[in-house]
């Protein structure tokens, strides 16, 4: 009987809202981007191929990665943030222990350099939910209300689900309407 070594891998998850990176003081926003990659860099330096997988999820990535050339204020902050992000993704030292997930409603707003091969390669378009999906979203998000008897019995979730059109039925919009 062969003995097998068990290898334990860890997942380090960082979720950041793009607007949270922004700061009025020059250099602070770029520092926040660098800090997101710091732990992955340290892990790879220390453990090499056995380092933890670091997953960074950027929600509303367009807030920090708009197309370059359109200046935001006097210091071209948008351009600097995109440049810093590109440097962290594939600068002089490439990190092999990192997975980036960029969330955005309109891909066209993101700088093309981020979407090139070798950077953010996989693009997945999620469609808005149909009527059945909207009803499921409403059901999940009102379950606690119903259990606590906060939601009146005469509230018809099917009727509410029909109110949300295709353009405005993202889960966040439905949740904020409750």
Q: Would you say residue 123 lies in a domain?
A: no
Task: Choose among 79, 88, 91, 86: nearest CA to 26.
Answer: 79
Residue 174 predicted with pLDDT over 70:
no
DSSP annotation string for 104-170: -S-GGGB-GGGGSTTSS----PPPPP-HHHHHHHHHHHHHHHHHTT-S-TT--HHHHHHHS-GGG--
105 and 44: one domain?
A: yes
160 and 103: one domain?
A: no
35 and 87: one domain?
A: yes
50 and 82: one domain?
A: yes
pLDDT of residue 6: 45
Q: Would you say residue 3 lies in a domain?
A: no
Task: Choose among 112, 129, 131: nearest CA to 120.
Answer: 112
Q: What is the total count of domains within the chain?
A: 2
155 and 80: one domain?
A: no
Tokens of 75: 């210091």
Tokens of 160: 């509410």
Give mean pLDDT, residues 17-37: 86
Higher-confidence residue of 82 and 170: namely 82
Residue where a domain stops, chosen among 115, 139, 162: 115
pLDDT of residue 60: 87
pLDDT of residue 9: 61
Q: Would you say residue 15 lies in a domain?
A: yes
How confident is residue 7, by pLDDT bands cut at 50, 70 and 90?
low
Tokens of 170: 């993202």
pLDDT of residue 4: 46
Q: Return the minimum-mean-pLDDT range out of 18-22, 113-117, 155-159.
A: 155-159
Strand 53-59, strand 11-17: pairing: parallel
pLDDT of residue 3: 45
Convert the pLDDT of each residue in 45-89 to its tens digit: 898 888 889 998 888 888 888 887 765 555 566 788 888 888 888
Q: For the chain, how long is the longest CA-to-CA vector? A: 69
110 and 150: one domain?
A: no
CA–CA distance, 54 with 113 (Å, rounded to integer): 22
Convert the pLDDT of each residue in 119-167 to its tens digit: 877 778 777 788 888 888 888 888 888 777 777 778 778 777 777 764 4
């Amino acid at each position: 009987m062969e003995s097998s070594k068990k290898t334990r891998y860890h997942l380090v998850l960082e979720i950041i809202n793009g607007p949270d990176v922004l700061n009025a003081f020059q250099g602070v926003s770029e520092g926040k981007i660098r800090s997101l990659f710091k732990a992955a860099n340290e892990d790879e330096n220390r453990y090499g191929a056995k380092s933890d997988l670091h997953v960074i999820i950027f929600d509303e990535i367009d807030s920090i990665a708009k197309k370059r050339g359109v200046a935001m204020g006097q210091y071209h902050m948008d351009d600097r943030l995109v440049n810093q992000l590109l440097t962290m993704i594939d600068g002089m030292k490439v990190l092999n222990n990192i997975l980036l997930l960029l969330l955005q409603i309109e891909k066209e707003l993101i700088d093309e350099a981020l979407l090139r091969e070798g950077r953010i390669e996989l693009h997945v378009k999620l469609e808005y939910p149909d009527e059945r999906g909207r009803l499921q979203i409403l059901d999940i998000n009102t379950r606690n209300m119903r259990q606590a008897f906060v939601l009146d019995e005469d509230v018809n979730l099917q009727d509410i689900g029909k109110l949300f059109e295709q353009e405005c039925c993202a889960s966040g919009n439905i949740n904020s309407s409750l």
